[in-house]
Each structure stands twice: as structure tokens, then as C-alpha cells.
Amino acid sequence: MELTFLGTGAGMPAKHRNVTSIALKHLYDGSVWLFDCGEATQHQILHTSIKPRKINKIFITHLHGDHIFGLPGLLGSRSFLEGTEPLHVFGPAGIRDFIETSLKVSETHLKYDLEIHEIEEGIIYEDDRLYICAKKLDHVVMSFGYRVVEKDKPGSLLVEKLKRDGIMPGPIYKQLKNGETVQLEDGRKISGRDYLGPNKKGRIVTILGDTRICESSISLAKDADLLIHEATFDKNSAEIANQYYHSTTVQAAEVAKRAGVKKLYITHISSRYEKKDWPELEKEAKEIFPNTEIAHDFKVVRI
């Protein structure tokens, strides 16, 4: 997987940070999942290698404008750019009204099937490779966090062990790799499970919407390879963060530490902080959770 921060600011666009949007690209097929779609997200995409027609799922954390105002334009542009595959949008109650009203009033006609899913807590999507779980956070409006879990993969086929047991390469190896039980020419029955190494653990990526520090954040981030957590304010602004249902740099780091994540990226940075302030914000979080980086627009992370 590959993650691109398309917007890392809070509230409204700023000179160096656009409002929130994150793209998660699946390298096995090139498909892209978008998390939030703030104003001018499609402009940000123009500076990347992301193709709008490859976006097949959009997950909205909550319905504040800095997370959804870019959505109608992107949906229309995807159609103009020969996007014909179905697109699924997931989000809180109200996302359907927002999208359908925007498209109707602007007379935007899509060339692809658009499926809108108003979600509740739990597993909201699953396929043979991964699943995604949503939980409610602590924000002034309904806000969700998303936990993307890649399913464990079977271990490598133990070729040398097979050869030692007199089982030479051939079509049978594929059956054993799939864990099947097969009968050999000499009458022996063997199970592929006996010739596989340990399972390869899938990766976990947690992307949270706007929130105060809460238990749901920690649960969603448990043992994640990567946590993306808002840090709208610095450590000295805990009172105002609480008042506006947001988090500080230190609070984001505390979630990462308590959840046992491997890496933390802080984002959704208030425009009150100039570029010269960013290293200090990162330092504040690192004092609690050393493996922290402050995100910036167009940063690409290979997972």
C-alpha cells in the first residue's frame, strides 16, 4: 500500500496546507481509496500520479466542510475523465443528501454507478484481501475513525522440506500452497498446511477523523502499523482543543503510545501555526511517542 497526504490543514485552506484528504493506493491493482475530500482535493490530485478514475471508494469521516466540500467536483470530474467503474462512498448519515442535492442542483450527470452507504459502527466493507472497521469518535458532529486491516497471508511454501520428503516440483506445489490435501502417486496423503511457513501478518492502517482523545481512537489504532491522528493544536492549547472537540500534538502521541502503534503521523494542523512552527509541533509529539512525523501536503508513505 502507498499513502499520499493530499491535504493536511484544518478548517480552511492555507498557503502551505490544503484541507483534509488522504489517498490510499493498493499497489496490487492500482485502485485508490480516498479518505475525506476537502475543498480543492481534485486540484491537489493534479500534482500527484493519482488518477481520479482509479478512485473506487471514498470514506468520509464527518460532514464538516473542510472534509467534504471537494466531493461534488471530484465526482463530476471522475466522469469527465472516463471513470466508468462503480464508485462507493461511505460516510455518516447525511452524506447521501449532500451528494444527491449537489449533483441535482448542478445538473451533474455521472457516467458511472454511484453507491452511497450511510454507515454505523462495525465492519463496513470486506473483500478477500482486507476489511475496514468504523467507530464513532468524540467530535462536535458525528465523526468516524477507520481501521483498514489487511488479512493475513499464507506463509511461503517450504520447498526444501518437500524435496526432502521426495515431493518434486510440479502442479502439486500450487495445490499445497493453497493448503489443500493431495494424494501422491505412492498413495501417501499430505496436507499443504504441513508445508507452509508461518502466516505473513497483514498490515493495519488507522485513519481517524476529527476527535478529542477517546477510547475509540485507541481501540481503532491498536497495534496498527500506521496511525494518522489529528493534532489541530499545540500542547499548550489543551483547553481550546477540548472546547472545539479537537486534539493536541501530545494527545495524538498519547493515543499512539497507548495503542502500541509502530508509526504516527499527525495532521489537520491549524493555520495559526506557520511553517516555522511545524518542527516544534513534531517535537512535542515525539517527546511522548518518538516515532512521530508531522504530515505535509503531497507526502508519500510506503506501507
Residues near 72 by Cβ (< 8 Å), separated by ≥ 6?
A: 99, 102, 103, 106, 108
CA distance 184 to 119: 50
How many CB atoms lie under 10 A from the CB of residue 86?
11
66: annotated active-site residue? yes
Residue 109 annotated in ligand binding: no
Q: Among residues 29, 36, 66, 277, which one is catalytic?
A: 66
CB hemisphere CA count around 51 (13 angstroms): 12
Q: Rounded to whole angstroms, how far apart are CA atoms 53 and 73?
A: 13
Give the angle 155-158-159 at the CA atoms, nearest 5°: 135
Asked whether residue 66 is marked as a ligand-binding residue, the answer is yes
Which residues make Cβ contacts (< 8 Å) with residue 127, sequence separation at least 6? Answer: none
Q: Is 62 annotated among the ligand-binding residues? A: yes
Query: Which amino acid belongs to residue 107?
Result: E
CA dist 258 and 24 (Å) reads 25
d(CA 95, CA 97): 6
List residues with catalytic annotation. Answer: 66
- Binding-site residue set for Zn(2+): 62, 64, 66-67, 139, 210, 268
- Binding-site residue set: 62, 64, 66-67, 139, 210, 268
